[in-house]
A and B are shown apart, each in its own frame.
Chain A
Amino acid sequence: MWKNLEETLGASLERALTGLAAFFPSLLAILLALLLSVLLAWMIRIVLRRMLRGVKFDARLEQWGFVGLAEISPGRSPTRLVCRGVTWVVILFGLLLGLLAVQDSLTARVLIRAFEFLPSLLVALAVVFFGSLLARFLSRSVLVGAVNLQIQSARLLSQVMKWLLLTVTYAMALDHLNVGGDIVKIAFAILFGGIVLALALALGLGARDIVRRALESQTKEPPPKEDEAAKHL
């Protein structure tokens, strides 16, 4: 019995060692790919940071209206955010290359499928990311503008703006990923059409007189506007 047990254990140890020996080159390949990708990412990060600082990326983004990006960036610097993002993408890419070296056809197939799906996923994530930023920025702009114009329902207006943009953003992202097929498009069309119809009805039924007066005033010479701000200067 002891002999059998010894043989069994010896065989399993041999199999484990053989497996490990067979896996060792793959492990080395993974580690090497990871190491190279970290080095490459480090170099790309340095070059990219210098380039972005050289072209005053942070200031330009603010000029172009992407101010929300600074709020979520480390150290309030979009340059750092982009550098970190690129660094991690390069490292992830290296890791994936390393994993592909594993001699397991099923794992490799799964990884290759995942890898093929990655660009679409990244684009969809980018759409959601920038859409969310834009929604946040524009809803705040509407809120501040409406408060300064003394509109009592300023918050409601701002929320409407935000959710309209978010709805469009998520519909675009899902459509890009081919998730849900036509259901997303149809649901979006119904939802968006419903909102526009509701707004049109609300305006038509509730604010007919205001619209009429507004249209009439367009055809008349506007009265001279009082310089309200001048007395504050």
Chain B
Amino acid sequence: MADQDLVPSDIAEAVRRQGGVEIIVGLPSYNNAGNISAVAECIRQGLRAAFPGRTALIVNTDSGSTDGTAQEVAAVAESDSIRLVQAILPARDLDMPYHGIPGKAQGLHLTLRIARMAGARACIMWSPDITPVAPEWLGMLIRPVVEQGFDFAVPLYARHKFDGSITNGIVRPLLRSLYGRHMRQPMGGEYAFSAALVDRYLGQNVWDTDQARFGSDIWTATQALCGSFKLCQVQLGAKQQATSGTPLDLGTTLGQILGVLFEDMMRNAAVWQKVRGAQPIPVFGVAPDSVPATVTFDVRKLVDSFRLGIRNLQDLWSAVLPPATLLEIRRVANTPPESFTLPDDLWCRTVFDFALGYRTRSLSRSHLLGAFLPLYLGWLASFVCEMQSATHAQSEVRLERLCQAYEAQKPYLISRWRSPDRFNP
């Protein structure tokens, strides 16, 4: 079916009236009334400042907000070159994704169709809960795509050394070892991409899967990493998320992210098994001086959670982890919290083993993903313990070492992936 037939008629008419659109800004929303008008206004100002005279379309896809979000967006002023269209998506998802917008994938799908129908050169997806947002950020992020021929641009936000530990401990090193490109913050929530990637995204049959529902941000990044696309990262400032709705617990959040990552690994196995080493991705802009908010963790609590997992979940872990790995984990649990250390190679193998367990269904997938939380908290305890007095630069060096450990353990992953039953050291 043609894109024109799948796009709501009022939006198709608005695109036709504008006579072609160069830039599309996707703005999904769900109960963001407190923040959305400031964000939408910021987008408008950012577009006007960065690309004066160029035609742009802001596409707000609302997942059935009940707090007047759609009306707040509709009140944002338009101009001849910058138009705004809105689509209210049918509420379908019962499970809330970790990013807090239930219909985000549907919104992305519609935005991509509009982009292809309008023949847009570049697209940018923007979070509705980002605060404070500077108008120039949007231009900084999309400029490499519009003016320098890049296909995918992700932001680099200034973050505290302990902020984003799922990203730092799992997502970033795993994606780097799999696809050989060093993307530091692949789950930023904001990203810009080219028309070539619009075609690629629309060509994938994932839109009704959990992969899209829960992790469209990760999926879009891995699609860009898989192909021969030009990628870049852009230094922005310190970002904060405005809270909207009921936040999910950590176990659910981690389970959703791991589920998306492991599904991606299964889909792209033919690609990542051929990749060796990792190449840097160019970074634009300079690191900001702004100080990110401090994030703290209680190491003793984290270690206690890890030990509680050891006491109760070993039966489940033994369905996924080889005996030698399980033995090492038990040994780690006996160390006191002050000197608690989970070796990098052990951590990498554990993540890889869980990915394999997910693939072979050696355990129910919901149980497997849930049983990972104590292990993650163990890694976090080890990282916090080691980096307690480290500077930001030192923690970056440490994370680089972790990424290299993932790369070093990749042959182990490939061996087990190819012969899951035979290779069990």
Contacts and interface: CB of A to CB of B under 8 A. Distances in A.
Nearest to B251: A148
Contacts of B248: 229
Given A228-B247, A232-B165, A147 B312 contact: yes
Given A231-B163, A232-B164, A76 B364 contact: no
Interface string A214-232: 0000000000111111111
A67 B366 contact: yes
B370 A145 contact: yes
Given A67-B365, A154-B312, A232 B251 contact: no
B166 A233 contact: yes
Contacts of A226: 247
A147 B162 CA distance: 24
A70 to B, nearest CB: 5
Interface residues of A, number: 29
B21 to A, nearest CB: 32
Nearest to A144: B370
B313 A229 contact: no
A224 B380 CA distance: 26
B361 A76 contact: yes
Given A147-B313, A154-B312, A229-B253, A141 B367 contact: yes
A76 B308 CA distance: 30
Contacts of B187: 233
Interface in B199-253: 241, 243, 246-253
A23 interface: no
Interface in A112-141: 137, 140-141
Interface string B342-382: 00000000000000000011111111001101100000100
Nearest to A222: B246
A62 B365 contact: yes
Contact of A225 (B246, B252, B365, B371): B246
B312 A143 contact: yes
Of the listed residues B167, B364, B366, the one surrounded by the most CB atoms of chain A closer than 10 A to its CB is: B364
Nearest to A70: B361
Interface string A77-108: 00000000000000000000000000000000
A232 B363 contact: no
A177 to B, nearest CB: 30
A233 B374 contact: no
Interface string B63-84: 0000000000000000000000
Contacts of A137: 364
A103 B366 CA distance: 56
B166 A144 contact: no
Interface string B305-334: 100110111001000000000000000000
A224 to B, nearest CB: 8
A215 to B, nearest CB: 21
Contact residues of B: prevailing secondary structure: helix
Given A144-B313, A147-B308, A233 B366 contact: no
A150 interface: yes
Contacts of B367: 67, 140-141, 144
Contacts of B253: 229, 232-233
A43 B133 CA distance: 66
Interface in A37-65: 62
A200 to B, nearest CB: 26
Given A140-B367, A233-B167, A227 B243 contact: yes
A148 B312 contact: no
Contact of B364 (A68, A225, A232): A68
Of the listed residues A67, A76, A233, the one surrounded by the most CB atoms of chain B closer than 10 A to its CB is: A233
A99 B241 CA distance: 74
Of the listed residues A76, A225, A230, the one surrounded by the most CB atoms of chain B closer than 10 A to its CB is: A230
Contacts of B316: 140, 143-144
Contact of B247 (A70, A146, A225): A225
A140 B98 contact: no
B166 A227 contact: no
A71 interface: yes
B241 A230 contact: yes
B363 A71 contact: yes
A147 B374 contact: yes
B419 to A, nearest CB: 15
B257 to A, nearest CB: 8
A140 B364 contact: yes
A161 B363 CA distance: 19
Contacts of A70: 361, 364
A143 B313 contact: yes
B270 interface: no
B254 interface: yes
Given A147-B374, A150-B305, A230 B247 contact: yes
A233 B98 contact: yes
Contacts of B308: 147, 150, 152, 154
Contacts of B304: 150
B295 interface: yes
Contacts of A233: 98, 164, 166-167, 187, 253, 257
Nearest to B244: A227
Contacts of A141: 366-367, 370
A71 B360 CA distance: 10
Contacts of B167: 233
19 contacts: A67-B364, A67-B365, A76-B360, A140-B316, A141-B366, A143-B316, A150-B305, A150-B308, A155-B312, A228-B247, A228-B250, A229-B252, A229-B253, A230-B247, A232-B165, A232-B166, A232-B250, A232-B254, A233-B166
Interface of A: 62, 67-68, 70-71, 76, 137, 140-141, 143-148, 150, 152, 154-155, 224-233
The list of the 7 closest CB pairs from A to B, nearest first, reads A67-B364, A227-B247, A144-B370, A229-B253, A148-B251, A229-B250, A232-B166
Given A147-B312, A148-B251, 5 more contacts: A62-B365, A140-B316, A148-B250, A229-B249, A233-B187
